[in-house]
Amino acid sequence: MTEQENNLIARNEKAMEQLLKDITEAICRYFDKDIRINEYIKLSERLATVARVKVEGDGQIPSSVIVKHEILKLYPASGAGELTQEFLEEMLAYKFLHTHAKQFHLIPKVYSFEFYGLAVLEDINPTGIQHIDTLEVIIRDLSHTLAGLHASTIGKYDIYEAMREECMLPSMIMDKRRNSLSSYSTRLRLAVDMLKDYCSIMGVMIPKAFDVMINEIEMDITNPGNFYGLIHDDLANGRQVVRREEKLYLIDFENSKYSHILLDICKPLAGKYEIDLNTGYYFLNNPAFPIEFLYRYRSQLEKFMGRNYSDIEWQKQFSSALIYHSLVLIGKMLQVSKDAQLIGNIPSHLIAIIGRMLYLLKGNDVHRSLLNTFEELVGRMCKG
């Protein structure tokens, strides 16, 4: 073993000793009780490390907590400037929701958040055993959870934006995360340019109003009015939800932002791109929730808000959100195909994404000429 490797091991051991001390102090401070850590169990590690820490104390102390912290080679950080934006974004979301959306309680409690790179959270499911629910149950409970999140945050953007500065985060318009709205806009334009090229190659007539409709769709997303709330923006699998009894709790808010609330519905309906950490390959992860998920969500949202959306307004906003999401997906696929391995080829992904969008928008004619163009393109691509 080299001297460098020995130094790294010693550095990590020292960091772990400091980490466990910091976790102990954070729990003791929150509960005003003495505790002892029995076990540290790493659950995952990417931008940060997530672990379940089992503790022992009197009857009021939970048997375990969830901790998120800087990876050991960087722990402890000297301040917020050394933390990833995603780490700070998640802590902002929890702080905002606990402080200004108290009617929404389907998130973990925050026991401690420290700018040296440590967050101690409530362990919603201490056993670590996830229930296997039927799709019907998931649709019922997830629609309820998302509707509660959105209804409790609509109309509170100014508060959220002010809190970003407190958490040493850039304003929303300066957000440069890979899943920021500016990144989505870049992907949208990539997709539009590529689709025009494909239409030209396949002999599909592009309507004169094509660019106008795309711009109107993007305007609906960037200026969503009564559809403007805090979104989770990462829901396409079971990792971001945890069941406790009859409710689904949301976790992992590092991609959260204020945006069009129906974008949170589009991911379970139409999917998102994810990376297989074992192979490094990207794939389209599509839960393919049925359209009933949207109907159930609308019912719950209107119930929470105490007001109804008109059918015309709802149809227009959903059509814009789904087309926007689908085009951003295509843009992401194009970016991935340049920088990494993509499972499948571009035409097959294009057919899958547009085909799913067309299926979900059956009976919705708000952007009919645009959909007709996409339908003709996919039809010709399928025929070869």
Tens digit of each residue's pLDDT (9 = 90 or more) over 194-224: 999 999 999 999 999 999 999 999 999 999 9
Residue that wins the pLDDT comparison between 349 and 59: 349
* From 9-13, 18-22, 42-46, 113-117, the region with the lowest mean pLDDT: 9-13
- For 248-313, give the DSSP string: EEE---TT-EEEETTHHHHHHHH-EEEE-TTT--EEEE-----THHHHHHHHHHHHHHT----HHH
- Give the whole-number percent of the chain exceeding pLDDT 70: 98
Domain boundaries, the chain: 3-122, 135-383
Residues 296 and 182: their CA atoms lie apart, in Å, by 30
Average pLDDT over residues 117-122: 97
| pLDDT recorded at residue 278 | 85
* From 6-15, 118-127, 214-223, 375-384, the region with the lowest mean pLDDT: 6-15
* From 82-86, 130-134, 286-290, 305-309, the region with the lowest mean pLDDT: 130-134
pLDDT higher than threshold 70 for residue 9 = yes
For the stretch 354-371, pLDDT in tens is 999 999 999 999 999 999
| pLDDT recorded at residue 145 | 98
> Tell me, what DSSP letter sits at residue 15?
H
pLDDT higher than threshold 70 for residue 7 = no
- Specify the residue for token string 């919603």: 124
First-to-final CA distance of the chain: 57
Instruction: Reply yes or no on domain 3-122 having CATH 3.30.1380.
Output: no
pLDDT higher than threshold 80 for residue 76 = yes
For the stretch 137-164, pLDDT in tens is 999 999 999 999 999 999 999 999 999 9
What the block records as the tokens of 378 is 């996919």
pLDDT higher than threshold 90 for residue 1 = no
For the stretch 25-49, pLDDT in tens is 999 999 999 999 999 999 999 889 9
Helices (H), the chain: 3-31, 85-100, 135-151, 157-166, 181-202, 210-222, 263-270, 292-305, 311-339, 346-360, 368-383
Q: Are 51 and 57 in contact (CB under 8 A)?
A: no
Q: Are 95 and 113 in contact (CB under 8 A)?
A: yes
What's the chain's average pLDDT?
A: 94
Nearest to 146, CA basis, from 245, 253, 50: 253
pLDDT higher than threshold 70 for residue 110 = yes
**pLDDT band (50, 70, 90) for residue 11:** confident
* From 31-35, 118-122, 125-129, 250-254, the region with the lowest mean pLDDT: 125-129
| pLDDT recorded at residue 341 | 86
Q: Regarding the domain delimited by 135-383, which CATH topology (the fold level of the hierarchy) does it fall under?
A: Aminoglycoside 3'-phosphotransferase; Chain: A, domain 2 (3.90.1200)
Average pLDDT over residues 14-33: 96
pLDDT higher than threshold 70 for residue 3 = no
What the block records as the tokens of 302 is 């209107």
